[in-house]
């Protein structure tokens, strides 16, 4: 079975609540204004893309990364932005969403490209793109994943400890409350809360206020549930494909037949996962809420519905990153409005070549 056919089978088996090919893509509307946070996020994304571009090209003898993603420095409010945006929407409907980088065998790379084919016309790209061995979508995150993991582990252990202490106090000290006919189920509920089960426990706090003793027990149950909710919160940093991008990534794959991958760049490590494995993951309902979550209203992702996939499911393709320098910059819009944002320079990703090749299905001996 071809790669295109594999992806078609997988996307057709994905939950319709996440991706439904029968529903036409909703065309985006050009924004009318821009904010400093958008510019900072774009600069961080551009830095992450450069980081991977430079990391691959500095270590590989036989492959070359090439900038491909459609991009423009124009922003809402500047001349030409609306035309650029509408052209981008047209392209999404015709070929799909370009990945940020393409990876070519060195024998198929043309030095005249200068590291980028982004500005070439469609006829040229239709000849060049099918020669690529992989398309890389680069996502960035403002976290240090190692420090985040340490923090979340400490938070989990602290809330687990406090929850079990409150459970024991309730069982030891409130027999008089739980012996009441309408409360006799509570000891069994509490004994069911263990270190092994706490991640799946749920109950409604009853709201007792008939006398000081039952009110006190109710407050303890409320505190217990608060700690359990903290234990159950998503405790991993994510690879973050947007739900709306699944269709247009699929369309690009159907246009060119090139394997597609997501890379998530943190400020200390990089993780990667194949589009194929993303589709396999979301088709397994037993892994939702454990290995991935579907979340909406995330300001960091433009309030788009996003699939949050545990980064550790992917391959650790860069084990260390040298922190970039960061600078404040100013952008003046035609009306005289000033926007101040952060830009990034430098940094280095130290690739794990074996993991990268395993992810991309490339022979590490020929990388």
pLDDT score for 190: 96
Q: What are the strands of the beta sheet with 270-274, ordered from one edge?
A: 63-67, 101-105, 134-140, 260-265, 270-274, 315-322, 348-351
Rounded to the nearest 10 degrees, the angle between the axes of helix 275-282 and helix 3-12 is 20
Rounded-to-integer distance, Cα 243 and Cα 295, Å:
10
Give the Cα-Cα-Cα angle 102, 106, 111 (nearest 5 degrees).
85
- Map tokens 């106090």 to a residue: 169
* Contact in structure between 128 and 253 (CB atoms under 8 Å): no
Q: Which residues pair with 101 in a beta bridge?
A: 67, 136
Rounded-to-integer distance, Cα 202 and Cα 187, Å:
15
List, in order, residues 6 or more apart from 218 with CB less than 8 Å away: 205, 206, 207, 208, 209
Torsion angles phi and psi, residue 9, rounded to 5: -60, -45
- Map tokens 């952060």 to a residue: 342
Rounded-to-integer distance, Cα 257 and Cα 92, Å:
16
Q: Is the dihedral of CA 27, 142, 348, 259 positive or negative?
A: negative
pLDDT score for 310: 96
pLDDT score for 346: 95
pLDDT score for 31: 86
Q: Which residues pair with 349 in a beta bridge?
A: 321
Using alpha carbons, list the distances in angstroms from residue 225 to 158, 199, 229. 14, 12, 6
List, in order, residues 6 or more apart from 318 with CB less than 8 Å away: 55, 265, 269, 270, 349, 350, 351, 352
Burial (Cβ within 10 Å: 0-12, 13-18, ≥19) of residue 84: middle
* Contact in structure between 324 and 349 (CB atoms under 8 Å): no
In this structure, the number of other CB atoms found within 10 A of the CB of residue 110 comes to: 12
pLDDT digits (tens), the chain, 367 positions: 899 999 999 999 999 989 988 888 888 888 888 888 988 999 999 999 999 999 999 999 999 999 999 877 788 878 888 888 898 999 999 999 999 999 999 999 999 999 999 999 999 999 999 999 999 999 999 999 999 999 999 999 999 999 999 999 999 999 999 999 999 999 999 999 999 999 999 999 999 999 999 999 999 999 999 999 999 998 999 999 999 999 999 999 999 999 999 999 999 999 999 999 999 999 999 999 889 999 886 655 555 889 999 999 999 999 999 999 999 999 888 888 888 989 999 999 999 999 999 999 999 889 9
């Amino acid at each position: 079975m071809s790669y295109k056919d594999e992806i078609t089978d997988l996307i057709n088996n994905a939950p319709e609540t996440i991706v439904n090919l029968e529903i036409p893509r909703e065309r985006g509307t050009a924004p009318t204004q821009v904010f400093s946070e958008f510019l900072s996020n774009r600069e961080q994304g551009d830095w992450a893309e450069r980081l991977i571009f430079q990391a691959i090209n500095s270590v590989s003898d036989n492959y070359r990364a090439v900038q491909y993603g459609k991009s423009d420095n124009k922003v809402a409010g500047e001349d030409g932005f609306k035309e650029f945006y509408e052209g981008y929407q047209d392209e999404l409907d015709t070929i799909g969403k370009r990945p940020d980088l393409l990876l070519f065998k060195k024998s198929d790379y043309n030095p005249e490209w200068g590291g980028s084919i982004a500005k070439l016309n469609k006829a040229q790209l239709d000849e060049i793109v099918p020669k690529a061995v992989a398309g890389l979508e680069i996502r960035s995150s403002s976290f240090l994943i190692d420090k985040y993991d340490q923090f979340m582990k400490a938070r989990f252990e602290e809330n687990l400890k406090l929850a079990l202490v409150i459970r024991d106090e309730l069982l030891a000290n409130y027999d008089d409350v739980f012996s009441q006919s309408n409360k006799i189920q509570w000891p069994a509920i509490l004994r069911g809360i263990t270190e092994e089960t706490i991640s799946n426990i749920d109950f409604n706090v009853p709201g007792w206020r008939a006398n000081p003793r039952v009110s006190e027990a109710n407050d303890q149950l409320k505190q217990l549930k608060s700690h359990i909710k903290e234990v159950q919160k998503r405790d991993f940093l994510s690879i973050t494909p947007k739900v709306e991008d699944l269709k247009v990534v699929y369309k690009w794959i159907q246009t060119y037949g090139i394997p597609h991958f997501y890379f998530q760049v943190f400020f200390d490590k990089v993780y990667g996962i194949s589009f194929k494995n993303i589709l396999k993951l979301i088709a397994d309902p037993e892994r939702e809420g454990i290995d991935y979550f579907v979340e909406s209203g995330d300001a960091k992702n433009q309030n788009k519905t996003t699939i949050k996939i545990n980064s550790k499911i992917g391959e650790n393709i860069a084990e260390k990153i040298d922190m970039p320098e960061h600078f404040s910059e100013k952008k003046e819009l035609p009306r005289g409005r000033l926007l101040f944002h952060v830009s990034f320079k430098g940094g280095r990703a130290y690739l794990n070549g074996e993991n990268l090749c395993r992810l991309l299905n490339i022979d590490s001996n020929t990388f």
